[in-house]
Structures are given as structure tokens and as C-alpha cells.
A and B are shown apart, each in its own frame.
Chain A
Amino acid sequence: MSALIEIEFRLNGISRRVSVPLQMSALEMLRDMMGQHGTKYGCGEGECGACTISVDHRTVNSCLKFAVDCDGRDIQTIEGLAATPFGETLNRAMVEHGAVQCGFCTPGIMMQAQQVLTDNPDASRAQIQRGLEGNLCRCTGYRKILDAIEAAAHPSPAVD
């Protein structure tokens, strides 16, 4: 085993200090050491987006990021996003639009959707599609995911 390196960062707004092996990925650290099991292993090589997290407000594939590179950073996982007002809005939209089937890709898609809509609150459908091209979903055919993200971006006035 390689030597452990102590790092410190903020995880979902809370300061954390841990010692991690040099070769450990951020994904392994989050899942195995910090109970963030909402961040999923899908491929381990940055192709599927299931492990998407936010580092200093930019989404990354946590499987490609070394845990030690989290030192001094501000990390958000799906557990953190879900606790924000926007996360709740997005959650409701995903649920109501039927955007979740097996749900394994959903946390990564939620993280990426937040990024797309933060970058451009008026993102068009095509821009949302382009923003999600790194997130694979095998169940839904994406359409309902796009519907949900569009709805979260442009909440329609309540109708009765």
C-alpha cells in the first residue's frame, strides 16, 4: 500500500479532513470513505457520467479525478444537490416527468443538469441535449430527462 496523504476539503458545505492513498480516485473516496453512495460507478473511465460530481462548481467525472486533487476544493455530490432548493425542484421535475427508470444514471444526470442550467438558465432543448451528451442512460431514451430539465429551467405557471 502506498503512503496516505492528508487532504482537507468541503463536502456539501461541511469541512472534511481525510487521509487517502495517492492512487485513490475521488469516486472511491466519496463512496468508500464518506458514504456518498449516490455517486455511482458506471465505467471507471469517464465515459458514462454516472459518477458526476461538482468540484468548485464545475462538473467532473469523479472516477477520473484523484482524491488528493480534492484538497482545498469545494465538492458537491448528489446528496448535497438534493438538499438545495434547486435540487428539490429538479428532483420534482424528474419524478413528475417520468425521467427515472432504473435510476442508476439519475444522480449523475441531476449533477450535470444543474451545471447546464447554471451555465445558461435559458438553455434551449438542443443545448440541454448537448450538455448531457456525456451522461449515458440505457432505460429512458432521454426524452423524459430532457423534458424534466426543460421544465425545471422554465417552470410553467401553476394550472388547476
Chain B
Amino acid sequence: MAPTPREEAFADSLIGRRVPKLDAPDKASGRTRYLHDINVPGQLHAKILRATEVHARIVSIDVEAARRVPGVHAVITAADVPWQRPIGITKDHMPLKADIVRSRRDEIAAVAADTVQAAQEALRLIRVAYEPLPIVTNSAQALGPGAPLLHGEDLRVPGRNGALEVVHKACSDNVSMAYEYGHGDVSQGERESVVVVEDVFWLHYVTHCCMGVSGVIAEFDASGSLLLYSNTQVPFLHKREFAELLGIDPGRIRIIQPPIGGGFGSKLDIYPFEPIAIFLAKITRRPVKLLFTREEEFIASPTRQPVLLKLRSGCDREGRLTFRAVDTIHDNGAYTSWGATTPFVMMQTISSLYRVPHCHYRTRAVYTNNPYAGSFRGYGNLQATFAVEAHMDKLADALGMDALEFRLLNAQDPGESTPQGMHFRSCGFKECLGTAAERSDYAAKRRRNLEHWNDGNPVKRGIGMASMLHVGGGAKMYPSDGCGTIIKLDDFAKVTLITGASEIGQGSETVLALLVCEELGLPIDSVTVVNNDTAITPWDVGVHASRTTFIGGNSAIGAARKAKRKILEIAAPKAGRTPDDLDLRGGHIVLRATGERIQEIGKFLRSLHFSEKAELVMTTYYYEPPSVHLDRNYKGNVSAAYAWATQVAEVEVDTDTGIVRLLKITAAHDVGRVLNRLGIEGQIEGGIVMGQGYALSEDLLVEDGVIRNPNFRDYKLVTAPEIPEMDVSFIETMDGEGPQGAKGVGEAPAICIAAAVANAIYNATGTRIYALPFTPEKVYRALRGSNMPPKWPADAA
């Protein structure tokens, strides 16, 4: 049957289609100018001198020879910037260290020179004398009595009136941040249990490995306003932070975000290199560009939070979970960044991934002389899920219950609220479990693999399942979790979409353009997205918490609907209709009921612009999600939507060598709704492989505070031949608050891979390994019972 005119008119919807990224053609032809490719006339090149001691008092710094190197414009130490102020979320971190270094990444001096070579030569001539201090690089030991204190004295800096003020209070126990959450009564839960398991898990150091190294360009104009070219994921928050740092009005700071060579959470905090470049620009009165080397990127960019985690959980005779009790020690490193706040996410999983009637959660983030942890895709959830999903298998097995049935029995339904206060308006958890299990033939394979444990074949197959819960509608951690949009339609029905939401490679500009086109009935190539300049774009809290499609998307839709309304309200009387009779489709104003074309949108806009009462169509919208802040007890509906996924891993374990090959991932994700199919597949596949690296190969080796493998030869990212077969299903739950029903998905795919792989290795071999990553050496030893499993420290009660 031939399509009706209405069907034809509405067939141009882009929702769910495979829409190529708008920025891809330039990127694939080498035309895109990343931060690294930008050179400002007159710029100097900066380099940073880092500590060669892990913990030491700085006795002296001699920069005289460095200052004499031809081409060197400035050599600075803390003494040259007495007005510097601390950075980091607890303000415990001075950009340039004055008297004490606490880790091998610590910044001691910096040079600005005409060339990178001259700056490097100057660095080599700086002489630093140290007086070593006792070090502590084990977070449990750092809690113990007599441990060296990293921040044992008040940090004082000159205040606005010149007098010293305390910006970070002395810390007498090395505990940087502590959290305690509970609901119900864990001891009652324990009494109601027929099975109780307790284990200690160790989650290791990994780092982001963005392909583009960190960098910044800082430039002051003659009036003292600062222009930064920065790859920050949170430009508007950083405007404010840099203003505080410099003691200037935030209005005098402009941040331009050139295309970024990967983010993954690494650019959520200010790191010392940024203030240092700013100091050099201020002192030299020249633009200053600072780029890391790859080795610096490994040493001086943040890590994922390493965690020692003790989990105790139980279930009753019917297989219902009774309680979970968790204690963790987070290795904070020498300074406090976002890694110390991963408990906010971890406690969501501990309290609410499956129904947990009684729960207790405690974390201490502990200072050590190690590298410090930041935020990284998944934000603590990989660590929490690793432990929780190991116990889901162990409890089911102990009870003799099918592992899928056990999970389904405890999984939540739509409409439920959890004791922590999360409200699951839409929830595809059970569909995720069922779909992933069915498509992978989970139950049958899991049974079959057990029969091969003792068959003499050294190569074993295993299958393992894990699920995850993560915020899918933003996370209200700041006063606002919103995003602003400005839409401008020109005389030719070309749209300029000006959004606060940053593009970090994930495809946000394409999905936002798609959502606007859906409202305005225009093709995707009619949209230009402006998203990288705080002087132009409206406020947004930043790219984190898988929030951009949801929050930026709702904001873009809001602005587009206002533009549409304005067009229809003016067009309706001329057409002898009401606005509700009309719609925008295929570049035209059409009759909603039939799709019959009334006027080309461009023509309408021109007639509006050049009429007597001349007008343009420009709209603004600010979207604030209907979520709330956590209360003092960490309770509240912090996100406007929640996302689920189940991932099933199939592995092959060579018991002779300990080599684990990841053969296949079957994933089912509750994504609300697929907006750009190409984009969401890319997010999920990329996340799966990032999770694979976390599970199997990536391991930042930190020994006595020193990173032993700061390069891609010894830090093993997954390469093209190693990827698993991937079968990805989308569960479309059409979230009522989501943009066109969608939820955030950016972090989800990386979260449960390691947990699923651990369960698969157990299914293959009967050996459970409690520490990541599953390197051949570790697996080989574990299979022979010679691994030292992680232990909870006796004196860390």
C-alpha cells in the first residue's frame, strides 16, 4: 500500500537512525584542529619540573643556571607566586610546592621559553635539594598508628587582606574523606539469612590513556582578562575556580574548548599544570602553551580510584537478599580529587543494585604518597559492581539456585523506590537480564562448562553474568544540574544550536542536532552546533555522570519547541488555522493531520524577517532535571532517570599459561530509547573494550609511589586483534522524563565487564580471583592456589 501523504511527511524522523557524527569527516581527513594543533602568535612553551622524591622536604631550589638558558623567559617556583592558592575538591593541593613534596608527580618549578627544547634544557639545569621524609604507600598502613602524616599541618596561604588564612585543616589520621550510609538493620538481615558470604576485593590502578595528551594555552589580554584554550569537561565550573585561584572576577575568564583527544572523566578537575601555565602567562605577559609528554600523561594525570573493599552479604532460604555490609579503604593518593567522591556512586550500587532490605556502607579515602585518583568513566561503579556481582553468583551457588533466577528474583520493577531514595520511574532491569541470558544461552552454557572442570583439557570455557545500575538522567551534585540552549534560525532555515553541553568525542553535538531536527522538521545538515566557548554558550554543569544526552538533549528540545511554537503561532492565522493544526516536517510548515505542505520554512522565516513588524526566530531554554540533592544521610532521588545493563562474558582460560581470552560479550542495555543508533553502538562497544582492559590487561604498576610502566609498551591497552565478539541489545523503556524517552548511557558499558569476566573465569575453572586485573601471571598462580588473596587489615577496624 502506498504511504499516505502524512506517512510520507513524517517518514523523515531521524530518531533511531544511524546518523554519522557531524565532526567525523574533518577528523578522518586530518583537518580537525585539536588543542595540540593550535599555536597562538607570540606563544611561549612551558615545561614542568617534577619531584624525584616520593615524600621529602624541599631544602633548596637553584634556578639560576636555568634562567640563563637562551630563549628562557621565566623560571618559576612557589617563591615566585606567593599569591597562588590551592586547588582540588578539598583545597589541599598547591599548584607549585613550596616546602614539601608528597608524590613523584609533584610540581616544583616551571619554565616558559621560546621553544620546547629550550624549556627542557632549562629544566635539566634546575637543582633541587631534598631531605627525605618517611613514606607510606599502602592505604591500610596509612591508617595505622604511627603512620607518616601527609597533611599533618594546616595549609595557610595569604588571604585577600594579606594575612595568612587556613585553607586546609591539618589532618591527623590521613583520612581525606569519610562516608557512612545505612538503611534497615544489618544485624537483623544477618539473622534472617541462611547463607552469608564475606570477601575482600582489591581493585587496582588504571588510568584514562586519552590518545591526546593533556595541555592548555593561557593568555591574558592587556586589561588582565584570561583566555584559556582548555580541554576541560566542566568549563563553567572551572571559570569560577580559576577566578578564585587568581583573585579575579569570573566574568573576566573565557574558556575555549578545542576538539579533545579523549576525556572519559579525566578532565573534571583542575590539575596543577593549568594554574602553572596561567602563572607563566601572567608573569611573561605572553600566551603560554603547555603540553604533556606521554610519560607525563601517565605520571601526572589522574587514575581510577584504587579500592580495598570488604563485602558481606546474605540471602534467605527463598533466595531473597537479606543484607549487604561494605567497608572500603580508598587509596586517595597525595591529594584529594574526585576519586575521593566515588563513594557517592558506589553506595548507589551497594544499596540499590537488586533489592537490599538492610545495608551498611562505609568508606575512608586515605592519604598516601601514591598518585592521586580522579574521576574515570563509571566513577566507582566498576569497583562496587565487581564485588556485588561476585556475591550474586556465590550466594546463588551456595543456595543451589540458578544464578539467573536468583538475580531475577531480586531485581527491581518499574515504579519502585529504593531505601536510598532512588525512584525507578522506568526500569528495564529484568528485560536486560532476560535478554542477555537468552541471547548468550547463559543457563545452558553455565551448566555445561562445569562438566569440563576435571576433563583433563587444559583450555576451559567459562560464561559469567553481571548487571549494573547507574544514573541515566544526570546527578544533582551541584546547585544546578542543568544545561542551557540558544537556538537561532536564519533566513534560509539553517539552525545554529548553541549549547552549553560539551562535545568530548562521544557524539553529543550530533545527537543534540538530531533532537532539534526532530522538532523543527529540518534535515541534519541544516544545523551548526556551537558548543565550545564560554563567552557564547549558555551555562552547563559539564560532561559527566552520563548526563549530556539527557540534560543537554532536554534543553535542546525545549529551545526547539519554543522556536517551533513561535513559527506555528505566526503562521496559523495566515493559513486560517490554529497552531495546533500545524506541524513542521520535511522543511515545511504542514497540516498536522494530513502532512499537506503549506509553506517552506525558509520562505516563512524570510517573510517574517522582512515584514513590516520584522522579527527573527531565536529562542533560549534552560532545562533543570526534576531530581534532588542527597540529604545528610545520602538519601534522595539524585537522578531524573536510572539506567540498567546486563552483560554476559564468555572466556577461554588456558590453565597451562593463565591466559584469559575474552571471546564474546552479550550486552543488553536499558537506554530508554535509541536516538542515534550509530552513536549509541559506538559508546557501548567502546565502553565494553575499555572494561575489557580493566579486567584483563591494564595495570598501572605503582611501587613505593613510583609508576613503573608510564608508557604504552608496558601499560597494555586492548588492541584491535583482541576485541571480543559483541552482541548488543537495546531495551527501550521510553523514560517519561528522557529526551524522546532516552536515558544516559556513556558510562554504563564499561561498568560490569570485569565483574562478568570474574564470574566467567570461575565458571571455567572453579577458581575465584578477588583482585584485578586477570593477568596471565595472576591467573596462573590462582589456579595453583599460590595467590595471596587481598586481606582486610587487622588494625583498620
Contact = CB atoms under 8 A, between A and B. Distances in A.
Given A37-B37, A103-B24, A140-B685, A98 B711 contact: no
B682 A37 contact: no
A142 B681 CA distance: 12
B21 A94 contact: no
Contacts of A101: 21, 505-507, 682, 686
B81 to A, nearest CB: 29
Contacts of B682: 98, 101, 139-141, 144
Given A101-B507, A137-B211, A77 B720 contact: no
A142 B724 CA distance: 10
Most buried by B among A1, A48, A143: A143
Interface residues of A, number: 56
B23 interface: yes
Contact of A39 (B30, B31, B213, B264): B30
Interface residues of B, number: 55
A135 interface: yes
A102 B504 contact: yes
Given A138-B717, A142-B723, A96 B20 contact: yes
Interface stretch (B189-197, B254-262, B382-390, B420-428): B254-262
A102 B721 contact: no
Contacts of A100: 21, 23-24, 27-28
Given A135-B720, A141-B688, A98 B712 contact: no
User: Interface of chain A, helix or strand or loop or mixed?
Assistant: loop
The SS class assigned to the B binding surface is loop
B262 to A, nearest CB: 5
B36 A41 contact: yes
Nearest to B294: A43
B712 A47 contact: yes
Interface in A51-105: 77-79, 82, 87, 90-91, 94-105
B689 interface: yes
A63 to B, nearest CB: 10
Contacts, number: 179
Contact of A102 (B260, B687, B689): B260
B210 A138 contact: yes
A117 B505 CA distance: 27
B675 to A, nearest CB: 13
B472 interface: no
A130 B294 CA distance: 24
Contacts of B720: 128-130, 132-133, 135, 137, 142, 145-146
A33 to B, nearest CB: 12
A144 B29 contact: no
B211 A141 contact: no
Contacts of A98: 18, 20-21, 24, 678-679, 681-682
A106 interface: yes
Contact of A45 (B507, B688, B711): B711
Contacts of B717: 136, 138
A47 B685 contact: no
B34 A42 contact: no
A144 B306 CA distance: 31
A107 B30 CA distance: 6
A152 to B, nearest CB: 11
Interface string B3-16: 00000000000000
A1 B205 CA distance: 40
A95 B20 CA distance: 6
B766 interface: no
A40 B30 CA distance: 9
A102 B210 CA distance: 9
Interface in A4-61: 31, 36-45, 47-48, 50
Nearest to A144: B682
B33 interface: yes
A110 interface: yes
A143 B726 contact: yes
Contacts of A45: 294, 711-713
B647 to A, nearest CB: 13
A141 B24 contact: no
A110 B681 CA distance: 21
A77 B36 CA distance: 17
Nearest to A127: B721
Contacts of B504: 102
B211 A91 contact: no
7 smallest A-B Cβ distances: which pairs?
A38-B30, A103-B27, A102-B505, A78-B30, A141-B689, A104-B261, A47-B712
22 contacts: A40-B34, A40-B211, A40-B212, A43-B711, A48-B211, A78-B29, A82-B31, A90-B28, A91-B25, A91-B29, A98-B681, A101-B682, A103-B32, A104-B34, A104-B210, A128-B720, A136-B209, A140-B689, A141-B685, A141-B723, A143-B723, A143-B726
Given A40-B212, A98-B18, 19 more contacts: A37-B36, A45-B294, A47-B711, A77-B30, A90-B28, A94-B24, A99-B24, A101-B686, A102-B262, A102-B263, A102-B505, A103-B23, A103-B259, A107-B30, A110-B28, A128-B720, A136-B209, A141-B689, A143-B726
